[in-house]
Amino acid sequence: MASLKAIRTRIASVTATRKITKAMQMVAAARLRRAQDAVTAARPYADKMNGVIASLAKGLKGNPGAPALLAGTGRDQIHLVIVATADRGLCGGFNTNIVRLARQQIIALQREGKDVKLICVGRKGRDQLKRRFEKLIVADIEHTAVKRIGFVNAQAIGRKVLDMFAAGEFDVATLIYSRFKSVMSQTPTAQQLIPVAVDETATSTGGTVYEYEPEEAEILAELLPRNISVQIFRALLENVAGEFGAKMSAMDSATRNAGDVIDALTVLRNRTRQAQITKELIEIISGAEAL
């Protein structure tokens, strides 16, 4: 049995840990509200842009003049997988779930004989993926020093992706991130960026036929590169909200678990103290009887 001093030291240590986890929970809760507002504001714009692109792309099906970002390279051999995770941990299985989906995608592509390249956005995803796929990583990006994710951060990633596509370094690009649903629920999601996956049902015209000036191809040539950055920006915001939601939930569980440990240690301390007192009384009584 541990000594009374060791138990008291342990209680003090767990109590200090509980104060830290409680503070981290409160900080995550405060930041979650701002992150959730940012996601809510970004979603309509990203969805509307997808709708506009879907409407414009309908008139370009099979058209040899369609932009490369819409038509693709005509090949399906080299795949670029952009894995967006958090730079920090202590957020439960948030990063692990994203990496698990990425790993499944990579393995599935390799089994089909495809070549895979990785861009890791976030330190945690890079650290996990490089254990097995280090040779596939062509770039890694961290945002640890950035206090708040902005569109400029997404533009830098989008520019890197567009430059690689223009250089013929890949045929298909897929973005993997975690879609924020609630504090308790974040869903790992894979979204194809290049060639743009057109959702036939996601239109912005409500079934009305429009004539465009300039032509659809010219509009898409300007809109599609920006759409890459917009979708990446949305993914980054979704990740930030999901990270804080997962961290808030994880720190709440850690705080409650620390409380349970303190209760158990307090009972053990009381029993140990009682046993010591009983032992001392027995020794006193035995000594008195011996006299």
- Reduced 3-state DSSP string for 84-127: ECCCCCCCCCHHHHHHHHHHHHHHHHHHCCCEEEEEEECHHHHH
The number of beta carbons lying within 10 Å of the beta carbon of residue 25 is 19
The helix/strand/coil state of 180 is strand
Residues noted as catalytic: 91
Which amino acid is present at 45? Y
The helix/strand/coil state of 151 is helix
Query: Which among 178, 171, 215, 219 is positioned nearest to 193, based on CA atoms?
Result: 171
Which tokens sit at 252? Answer: 């709440």
Query: Which among 41, 40, 112 is positioned nearest to 78, based on CA atoms?
Result: 112
* H or E, element range at 37: helix 4-58
Contact status, residue 24 vs residue 247, Cβ threshold 8 Å: yes
Contact status, residue 228 vs residue 68, Cβ threshold 8 Å: no
For residue 222, how many C-alpha atoms fall within 13 Å in the half-sphere facing its CB?
A: 6
- Give the contacts of 84 (CB within 8 A, at least 6 positions apart): 98, 121, 122, 125, 175, 176, 177, 232, 235, 236, 239
